[in-house]
Structure 1
Amino acid sequence: MNDRLHKYDLVELLIHSCDSLTSLSLDVFPNLRNLEIYYCRNLESVSMSEAPHAALQCLSIRGCSKLVSFAGEGLAAPNLTHLQVAYCDKLEALPRDMKSLLPSLHTLEVYCCPNICRLAEGGLPPNLKSLDVGIGEQQMRDLSWMPNLHALAHLIINGLGCENIKSYPEV
């Protein structure tokens, strides 16, 4: 651990329309429970190097058009219950290995992120209760993550541009 890194005791952080923000490390906010990042058009990454982040419960990122990835050790947040990612045009993937790194995730909302190739690399958490996805045809073609969602009670799939998909024999 870098002793020169200042830590903040915030439990809630809302960052709205901050175009000067290019990256955010969760390491400086060890007690953060709720993080909202909205319309920070130059944000490229949200990262952590001191995994896991035990306090984080809710993460919402919207309108960050240059966000490419969740960098560093991935998003190891064992108590995260709600994850929303929307209108992030360049985002290529959701946090990796969500099945093991986000075991408490109950609500996942992902929409208007056209560059995400696969919805769940490594699988979605088995305790997921609510899934709301607005995805394109490429993401809709691989629904291998569907059979493992035994706790799912609410499912919304908004498949814009999926006119060519007729059936899902594998589900």
Structure 2
Amino acid sequence: MPEWRQWHVLGNGEFPTLENLSIINCPELSLETPIQLSRFQVIGSPKVGVLEGMKQIVELSIIGCNSLTSLPFSILPSTLKRIRISRCQKLKLEVPVGYYNMFVEDLSLEECDCIDDISPELLPRTRKLNVSNCHNLTRFLIPTSTESFYIGNCKNLEKLSVALPSAMTSLSIGYCEKLKWLPDHMQELLPSLNGLHLSNCPEIESFPQGGLPFNLQQLEIINCKKLVNGRKEWCLQGLPRLRELELVIYHDGSDEEMEHWELPFSIRRLEVSNLKTISSQDLKSLTSLEFLYIAYLPHIQSLLEEWRLPSSLSELYLYGHHELNSLGLCYLTSLLRLRIGNCCNL
């Protein structure tokens, strides 16, 4: 409705129990009086004044508002807990003049190319934070209140850091092509971290000095070539609570052969794909292993003949081994589920 300018709300409003409102492509619309809502979404509307009538709002979505240059912090109510901002190409997040107590607990920023820095002062209570496709973002200081953080496809991100001990439990980083290092002093600053997920970060070469947090339970590494090539220096055996280890790398023949890659005895779930070499000793000591997924490993036939897989296995997945022609697993008496795919010569 490109010509709609005013919505006259009478008394308690035409919709006294309205909870969810979406305004889509109504660029001239403004609200004259407050409307009591829980969730409000505005798409393609440049008038920020439409927010002034929202007094009890809990969730706010702003999408495709290219005239939005800043957030009107002064009119945002203290009830607001979740904000999603997407495709607002001129938006910048700046600390407002004077003290302001931001109550938002869940913030999502997507495709906002003018954002080059986000001050943690804006997010003193944010527990869940998602940042993606913000290509001018070069550095990010993670707020101490953040428990779950995802940053993805920020192509110019070079530095990710934590200033003070944080309550973070989950950290996910994906498609950050220029990022070379994880935050320093992770053991001290991220003591509660139990899930670390890295994907398509080709420049990360090693874990930070001092190692990973002791409470880490899940580690996922996908297509991080330099990091996987240096896996002998990971020292994962120092992580007593590590239960899941997933490694996925598309093989290009660059990983070097190594005699023994030490893994924690406590691992229950292991997924390995596209590694050039893996030795029989790598699995022999995993007496707690319950789930094993292996795919696209060269020389799988000879390796399986040498291996004696842990008898604790209850699930085994084999995929993409064209040279595999025979398989003997009768000693796996605890096996409950077996899946074999794309092994055309078996």
TM-score, with length taken from structure 2: 0.44
Choose which of 33, 46, 63 in structure 1 pairs with 2:127: 33
Range that drifts further, 160-169 or 96-105 = 160-169
Contact kept? 2:198, 2:224, Cα under 8 Å: no
Q: Does 1:158 align with 2:248?
A: yes
Deviations for 1:37-65, whole angstroms, at most 9, x for unmatched residues? 011111111126xxx71x21000000000
SS at match of 2:226: helix
Q: Does 1:61 align with 2:155?
A: no
CA deviation after TM superposition for structure 1 residue 7, in Å: 3.9
Contact kept? 2:219, 2:246, Cα under 8 Å: yes
Match of 2:184 in 1: 96
For residues 122 and 168 of structure 1, what CA distance do their matches in structure 2 show?
24
Q: Identity over aligned residues, as a percent?
A: 26
Match of 2:197 in 1: 109
Deviations for 1:109-165, whole angstroms, at most 9, x for unmatched residues? 011111112133321001111100124443222433312121011110113346332
For residues 154 and 164 of structure 2, what CA distance do their matches in structure 1 show?
21
Contact kept? 1:136, 1:162, Cα under 8 Å: no
SS at match of 1:19: coil
Which amino acid in 2 is paired with 1:148? G
For residues 158 and 136 of structure 1, what CA distance do their matches in structure 2 show?
8
Tell me which of the two structures has the higher relative contact order, counting C-alpha pairs closer than 8 angstroms and 6 or more residues apart. Answer: 1
Q: Which runs of 4+ in 1 moved over 3 A?
A: 3-7
Which amino acid in 2 is paired with 1:8? M
Which amino acid in 2 is paired with 1:28? L
Where do 5+ consecutive residues of structure 1 fail to align? none
Contact kept? 1:10, 1:29, Cα under 8 Å: yes
**What is the count of residue pairs matched by the alignment?**
164
Greater C-alpha radius of gyration: 2
RMSD: 2.2
Which amino acid in 2 is paired with 1:93? W
CA deviation after TM superposition for structure 1 residue 77, in Å: 4.4
Contact kept? 1:75, 1:96, Cα under 8 Å: no
Which amino acid in 1 is paired with 2:178? K
Choose which of 220, 239, 254 in structure 2 pairs with 1:149: 239
TM-score, with length taken from structure 1: 0.85
Contact kept? 1:134, 1:158, Cα under 8 Å: yes
Choose which of 210, 214, 217 in structure 2 pairs with 1:126: 214
Choose which of 159, 164, 184 in structure 2 pairs with 1:76: 164
